[in-house]
Amino acid sequence: MQTGASWRSWLLLILCAGGGLAAFGFSFLLFVTSSSALLSANLPVPNLVSFMNLAWVTALVGLLCVPGVVLSIHELRGRTPPARPSRRGFLFASAGMLVWVGLVLLFEPVETSPAAWLLLPPLVILSTLIPIWWFFEFARRGLHAAPPGRTWGLVGFSLVFTLPFTLIVSVLALFFFLLLGGVFLSTQPGMAEQLSLYARLLANPETDPQVIMDALAGLFQHPGLILIALTLVTGVFPLLEELLKPLGVWLFAGERLSPAEGFLAGVVCGGSFALWENLTALSTAGDGSGTITLLGRVGTGLLHMITAGIVSWGMVSAWRERRHLPRLAGAYLAAFALHSLWNFFGLFAGIAPFLQLPEGFSFSVDSLGNSSSIALFLLVILNLILLLWINTRLRRQQAAQAIPLVSLDPYQKDEQA
C-alpha cells in the first residue's frame, strides 16, 4: 500500500471514529434529556421538539462517520474496495424526489401536531437528505465512479473537521466585525440607547412580538447596520466558506485526480456541509413555518454543492498543470459570485419586512421581498442549468480521453507487420 494512502487512512480513521463517537454520545445525552423532560412535562413543546430534532441530527452524523471508519480500516489492511458505478443511482434518487414532494406536503401537519416531538425529527432528516442525494446523483451521471473510501472519507472529514473549523473561523470574523461595528455605532447619536432598548425587549419573554418587529424596523433604518450586514453576509462569509468547504479534497492531492474527480469530490464536500447546515436550520422547526425553511434550504444545498465542486475542479486542474492556476482563480471567483448573490437576495428577503423605505421610492417593502424571493428562485434554476452543463462537459472530456489515438500513416501498419 502507498505511504500517502496510509497516513490519510489513519487520519480519516481517527477523525471519523472520534467524531462519530462524540456525535453518538451527544445524541444519547439529548435523547435522555428530552425523554426526561417529556415524562416530567417541565419543558415547553417547541423546546422539546428542538431537542429531539438535534438528537436525531447528531445521531445521523455519527452514522455517516461509520462508513469512513470501516473503509479506512479496509485500506489500512490493504483491502481497498474498488469503485463501482451506480447506473441506477439517478433513477432511484429521482424516485426519491417524488416521495420528497409528499414529505413536503406532510411537513406542516406533522409540525403542528401534538406528536411533532416524535414524528418531525425523522421527517426533517428524510426531507433534507433526499434533495442532496438527488443533486449528487445528477452531478455524477455518466462519470467514472469514485472509490467508496474517497467518498465516505470526504463525508466524514467534512462533518468532523471542516464544519467545526469553518464555524470557528466565521465566529471570529463575526466577532471582529461586530467589534468594529460597535465602535462605529457608539459614535452615532442615540444608537447606544436604541441597542440597549432592543436588548431589554429580547430579554423579556413577555414582550409583544409586534413590539420586537417595530424595534427591528427601527434598527434597520440605520445605513451603518445594513452596510455591516451586507459586508458580512455577501462578502466575508462567502469568501471563507468557498475557501474552506473543499478542505477534504487536499487529502487526495497526491493522487493526480482528474478534473471530473475533483469536481465530484467538491460536490461531496459541499453536500456534507449543506446537510449539516440545513438540518441545524430545520432543528428549530415546530411553529408551523418549517415548510418555507425546508424549501429555501433546498436551494442552499444546491448552491453549496455546485460552488464547492467548481472550486475543487479548479484546484485539481491547478495541481495537474501550473498553467491552470488562472482557472483556479476564476473558479474561486465564480463560486464566490454565486454564493454572494444568493446571500444578497436572501438577506433582503429576510429583512424586507423590517425596512421602511423612503417616500417616493419606486419599490414597496412587499415588492422588495417578493423580488428577492423571485431572484433566489431564478438562481436555483441557474445553478441547475450550470450543474447540467458541467456534467455534460465533463462527460464529453471523459469520452474523448477514452478514445484511442489512430495513426494516419498508411505505412505504419506494414512496418509493424
Segment 16-50, tens digit of pLDDT: 999 999 999 999 999 998 888 888 776 666 678 88
Cα–Cα distances in Å, from 326 out to 25, 189, 197, 311, 393? 45, 48, 50, 12, 19
pLDDT at position 153 over 90: yes
CA 362 to chain CA mean position, Å? 35
pLDDT at 186 (0 to 100): 66
Give the whole-angstrom CA distance, residue 278 versus residue 207.
29
pLDDT of 384 higher than 50: yes
Helix residue ranges, H only, 77-159:
89-111, 116-139, 148-157
Q: What is the pLDDT of the chain when averaged over all its residues?
A: 86
The predicted model gives 9-20 an average pLDDT of 96
φ, ψ of residue 41 in degrees (nearest 5): 55, 35
| Residue among 68, 60, 47 at smallest CA distance from 127 | 60
Residue among 409, 393, 412 nearest 401 (CA): 393
Question: Residue 361: which pLDDT band, with cuts at 50, 70 and 90?
Answer: low
**Predicted confidence (pLDDT) at residue 360 exceeds the cutoff of 60:** no
Q: How far apart are CA 294 and CA 300, in angstroms?
A: 10
Rounded Cα distance, 402 and 260, in Å: 14
Q: Is the pLDDT of residue 408 over 50?
A: no
Percent of the chain, pLDDT > 90? 61
Q: For 66, how many CA atoms within 13 A lie in the half-sphere containing its CB?
A: 7
Top-confidence residue, 249 or 411: 249
What pLDDT is attached to residue 109?
94
CA distance 83 to 143: 12
Assigned C-alpha cell, 364: 414597496
Q: How confident is the model at residue 190 (pLDDT cuts 50, 70, 90)?
A: low
Q: How far apart are CA 250 and CA 323, in angstroms?
A: 19
Q: Report which DSSP code applies to 407.
A: -
Q: How far apart are CA 42 and CA 36, in angstroms?
A: 9
pLDDT tens for each residue of 310-354: 999 999 999 998 888 899 999 999 999 999 999 999 988 877 666
**With 50 as the cut, is the pLDDT of residue 417 above it?**
no
Whether 232 contacts 241, CB under 8 Å:
no
* pLDDT band, very low/low/confident/very high, at 156 (cuts 50, 70, 90): very high
Per-residue DSSP letter, 158:
I
Q: Is the pLDDT of residue 355 over 70?
A: no
- Look at 194 and 282; give whichever has higher pLDDT: 282
Q: Is the pLDDT of residue 126 over 80?
A: yes
Rounded to an integer, what distance in angstroms lies between the CA atom of residue 399 and that of residue 392? 11
- pLDDT at residue 412 is higher than 70: no
pLDDT of 128 reads 97
Work out the average pLDDT over 231-255.
94
